[in-house]
Structure 1
């Protein structure tokens, strides 16, 4: 992607509003929390205290809108504590530039590393930097600083209490995640009606699994409907894939294919009904036609008939769990095999060693999180230093604008920078004009701050530019309420905001963390993980034990994680104005398609894994070992830009066929895997001359795109 096109896309991304993502009730409750703390602080204290309390309540409330599976009240309390601590520590060091600048650099660096834990932690940590920069201007002594820190923490407590007293769609996010997973499987079943070899995107199942991890206290109150259907959805995917596949399931043409299409449509209707029931917490309503379709297996034979019988049993379990789960609550163990327990999520105290390990893994020069932390610290320090030297006053506007827009990747940084700058400038201009027109009135400014906060919360998940407009207005009204607005003009605030945004954009251009050069490594990781998953499935045919099934599930999860890492890197790379390195766009697409085919063949094999302890195909162990070894070596070859080789897999397949494979369907699935590996080798294997030709063609495509965007003949940025 060229620079002009990248800027055009990020500009529009911040202006889109998706109505389905608006949550006005949540916004209203959080705005009420802001109103409560402002009202109490104005009544019992002073406008300066009200400004501190409101900042704590606003930031803590905003943290609860982030995508997280922990209880919102815990997030609000944690954000309040972090904001209070940053305010206190910042004030203690704010007396001298020589002490405050190192503290600001260290605090922002650690805040940047918080992205190693997740986006929620990174965003909340960034708000603590903003709190440090703004609220240290309000206290006048250490004692007052302690009071302001306590009041900021109180804002988080108020938000947590409101969440506890007025819950809105309790377990709603978890219900949505599970319902989305079932709906995704239903959509997959409908795709298979028209495309029997369609690929399934496991991301909804991964999200549902992440949502299913709960703390022991959450497990005691989680609705029973959220326990079993996720595991059933995992088992339904290979069943419908096996039914639809023309090589191992229903025939490609004729009455058998027509019957398979009807069954897939019926399965989709049942899954959609279960998804609606779980999402809304209502009884299951399944069309009778769909149930009747799944009762008959006539016309189909062999593996296809077995797939239908298994599918009908799994769908019946899903409906039963959804029906019972919406009628009863509180069941700490999942449906499934004996001894299966809920997925454990560590409590906040036990999360500390997890955080330490995650941060330690990112402390390397090529880590996007580490580079983000370095950029964040440098930009915040430089912005504060430059603004302090300018005759404008309140120089914290510059570093705040930088810190709040910067993200570890290019697209989100630039999209948020453009949207935040546009929204902030509009919000600052309008709000400052209102402040100057109304004159000093703390109560009026407090009311306007609450209204601005409510509108910002409403749009925080979509339409980022509009949300930032109201956020900027909120800060202006807050400072006006605290008596800090009069000596700074609109042009001064605009200059500082533009300065901070420019520094953020420049920092990523100077010290980037492009994903494009890392695509071969991500692809190699996915290949190796896929090889381990395919080998684990095959070993279940040779030795079908409980331990083997556990290994298969673990390998499948690792494969999905590697696939998600590849997909995220690939999506980011497509939005980066950087020339391809190692893989052209076409090669990346072909390689992804090949690996998806390889994974699909393993999924088909998984559908018929023996459920007892009787070996089904002892020869599968040899192919499993060959697959695991060849894919691991091929992954290493891809990292070193060498062509992969599948000699062991070919020899193992020949030996297996020579010994007589027990299942023709299993043999066909093994050949599907071999074909997918050959397609992958075709996609990534090139001679030096072919690589040069491919690079020239890719540069020509970039050049044509530049000219189409009106960018002249300037080449794309090489990046580092």
Structure 2
């Protein structure tokens, strides 16, 4: 996909209208805050008070509705304080151009770094910077700017107040939504075709992030939710085990029953009211587990029962029950202070190679340049506000994202929406409006903006531009053509944002080799550590394994995001692999990660389970993964098949293959038990039967196969370029 086709394809995404809306209660509260601000202006007969309070209420309400993970009162208070404080600073530096530009650059850089905490946090940081620009640009003077900042603070305070009004969500509503989505994804994966449906980690990451936001004093009360996260991990492993079993008619019916149980757990967690699964479904699962010759179904049913109990304890009437810290998520449950955790995450981005750091620098430079250009443009020959630059800078700041696809899509959507919104605002500016009619129209336009907040940049900016231009036009007594100046400012700001990104880009595809190499460096420690654990009971350093698995998941998620974002980028900016090869790499990385999970789940529990012969693979596997990491980064090449050759020699020499053949019947039964790692001690003899060497050999064979498949794809990194050169 070349540059032009990339622009067209991404532009379509930017112009797409989605059927996604905020919660009706959140929209109602936002509209109510803007209504209170408009009524305040009417009562005081002060258009400036009404308009600035409306602006404060509007922007603060948007900050509250974007990615609501914390309690709405906490979010609204944080946005209100930040936006109001920046408005005061903007008023104080009004007329001091160089000081204002310096502060603007610093504030934009901080907002860019705040993107480390997520997209919603980055947008809230940008909204705070908007407060700085409004009073610095629009205020008639320092005193007038402080008056404007005071009314803005009043509007943000109204947003905080309306969050205290009913109806009220259940306690820990954001955490409930994330956990409910997690169990809903497990329900869908349990009946989906193929084991790949279980490889997605996004719902797990979202649930962990939501729980991570809870303050330390709230965690004992929410211990059941932490337990549900741990059980979700175990359920996924058990499902993975069952999905690897030989297909059988009974499995399909049992997996459908499993999906129903998981769906009921999801509804219980989401609503805070218990949704019981029919007894017939439970009886079906129990009989299925009892009839199974392997451990996987029994582990799955046990995990489902535990998750049901935790879901019941998470309901409103039982939420006060304090549980022990869940064993699966001890570090998350214990946690650290949110301030220290946030500071550590931001500090980790303070390096030139970090895409977030580059985004922050790009944002700071872009916003300052856009402000200077906006002020230089002036009033567009009488069509706009003289010496007014914040609209260009605002557009540049809200369009610039760390990724190419999002930046270009937002530029298309925001520019098109602004043009259409300006056309509508120009039409609305033609008739004469009474103060009451102006207030009503302002509230209606704001309400439509809130309703379309999550439908895409096109619809949002259509109504947002219409609302702000309509408000400024009538309050400031500006001529009707001002609407066209705002559209022109938006187009200039959007084009400038794309240009700045292309001057100093952060291509996602180019991050793939480095992320893949980093993930392989984690595996070169994790997989040998797991194989060493088969030599003796307790030989595994579980603290090291847990740390490595956490790091592996984090890098794998970053790699998956980079691969997904790379599809929107022009082919000229691709890494050495094609788009199809990148998708194959993602699949193969998930396969290797799944093998590591199964190796960990079946580490020996008794001396009879040990398979000391596997330690012969530790050094060859470590050396191969080390070389593969360097090959992924482009430092050397690795020939596929080398690890397979070593493994074939090992199996022939160790005698495991012959032992497996003698116990083939037991081996076939144990192969399906690759999975959940239950803590139960009553699993029966299948965990230590004669099939243990066969299971260990099957796991090591699957691991070698997965690593060799990944090696083959990595080794093909230069083939597309050679074919292109030959052509």
Q: Same fold (TM over 0.5)?
A: yes
> Match for residue 207 of structure 2?
208
> Match for residue 484 of structure 2?
491
Answer with 36-45 or 451-460: which moved more.
Answer: 36-45
CA distance in 2, matches of 1:197, 1:352: 33
Alpha-carbon distance, 1:238 to partner: 1.7
Alpha-carbon distance, 1:341 to partner: 7.3
CA distance in 2, matches of 1:341, 1:387: 49
Residue pair 1:219, 1:331 contacting (<8 A) in 2 also:
no
Residue pair 1:601, 1:673 contacting (<8 A) in 2 also:
yes
Residue pair 1:411, 1:576 contacting (<8 A) in 2 also:
yes
Matched, 1:413 2:407: yes
TM-score, scaled relative to structure 2: 0.85
> Match for residue 722 of structure 2?
693
Partner secondary structure for residue 70 of structure 2: coil
Q: 1:137 to 1:610 in 2, by over 3 A?
A: same
Residue pair 1:60, 1:80 contacting (<8 A) in 2 also:
yes
Q: What is the correspondence of 1:90-105 to structure 2 with a 5 Å cutoff?
A: 90-105=90-105
Q: 1:23 to 1:536 in 2, by over 3 A?
A: farther
CA distance in 2, matches of 1:157, 1:208: 30
CA distance in 2, matches of 1:274, 1:341: 24
1:460-505, Cα deviation, whole Å (9 max, x unpaired):
1223211111111221233245426348633322222222122122
Matched, 1:680 2:710: yes
CA distance in 1, matches of 2:296, 2:550: 23
Alpha-carbon distance, 1:316 to partner: 0.9
> Match for residue 128 of structure 1?
128
Partner secondary structure for residue 37 of structure 1: helix
TM-score, scaled relative to structure 1: 0.85
Alpha-carbon distance, 1:272 to partner: 1.8
CA distance in 2, matches of 1:183, 1:687: 38
What is the aligned-residue RMSD (CA, Å)?
3.3
> Match for residue 675 of structure 2?
none
Alpha-carbon distance, 1:671 to partner: 0.7
CA distance in 1, matches of 2:73, 2:545: 37
Alpha-carbon distance, 1:650 to partner: 6.4
> Match for residue 509 of structure 2?
516
CA distance in 2, matches of 1:611, 1:274: 31
1:406-459, Cα deviation, whole Å (9 max, x unpaired):
2111111111111111111222232243234225x4443333222222211211
Q: What is the correspondence of 1:241-280 to structure 2 with a 5 Å cutoff?
A: 241-245=240-244, 250-251=245-246, 257-280=248-271
Q: What is the correspondence of 1:125-274 to structure 2 with a 5 Å cutoff?
A: 125-170=125-170, 171-191=172-192, 194-195=193-194, 200-216=199-215, 219=218, 226-245=225-244, 250-251=245-246, 257-274=248-265
CA distance in 2, matches of 1:160, 1:547: 52
Q: State the number of aligned residues.
A: 681
Partner secondary structure for residue 286 of structure 2: coil
> Match for residue 716 of structure 1?
none
Residue pair 2:25, 2:167 contacting (<8 A) in 1 also:
no
Q: 1:82 to 1:658 in 2, by over 3 A?
A: same
> Match for residue 312 of structure 2?
323
CA distance in 2, matches of 1:501, 1:266: 51
Partner secondary structure for residue 285 of structure 1: coil
Matched, 1:375 2:340: no
Alpha-carbon distance, 1:93 to partner: 2.4
Residue pair 1:642, 1:685 contacting (<8 A) in 2 also:
no
Alpha-carbon distance, 1:204 to partner: 1.3
Unaligned 5+ segments in structure 1 are 701-720
Q: 1:354 to 1:196 in 2, by over 3 A?
A: closer
> Match for residue 428 of structure 1?
422
> Match for residue 48 of structure 2?
48
Alpha-carbon distance, 1:659 to partner: 5.1
> Match for residue 11 of structure 1?
11
Partner secondary structure for residue 471 of structure 2: helix
Alpha-carbon distance, 1:237 to partner: 1.6
Alpha-carbon distance, 1:547 to partner: 8.1
Residue pair 1:108, 1:376 contacting (<8 A) in 2 also:
yes
Alpha-carbon distance, 1:180 to partner: 1.8
> Match for residue 704 of structure 1?
none
* 1:667 paired residue among 697, 704, 715: 697
> Match for residue 37 of structure 2?
37
Residue pair 1:199, 1:597 contacting (<8 A) in 2 also:
no
Q: What is the correspondence of 1:544-559 to structure 2 with a 5 Å cutoff?
A: 548-559=541-552
Alpha-carbon distance, 1:691 to partner: 5.2
Alpha-carbon distance, 1:356 to partner: 4.6
Q: 1:370 to 1:442 in 2, by over 3 A?
A: farther
Alpha-carbon distance, 1:553 to partner: 3.4
Alpha-carbon distance, 1:75 to partner: 2.0
Alpha-carbon distance, 1:50 to partner: 2.7
Q: 1:71 to 1:45 in 2, by over 3 A?
A: farther
Unaligned 5+ segments in structure 2 are 380-385, 657-691
Answer with 606-615 or 205-214: which moved more.
Answer: 606-615
* 1:306 paired residue among 290, 295, 309: 295
Alpha-carbon distance, 1:26 to partner: 1.3
Alpha-carbon distance, 1:669 to partner: 0.9
CA distance in 2, matches of 1:320, 1:306: 21
CA distance in 2, matches of 1:143, 1:284: 59
Partner secondary structure for residue 19 of structure 1: coil
Answer with 140-149 or 218-227: which moved more.
Answer: 218-227
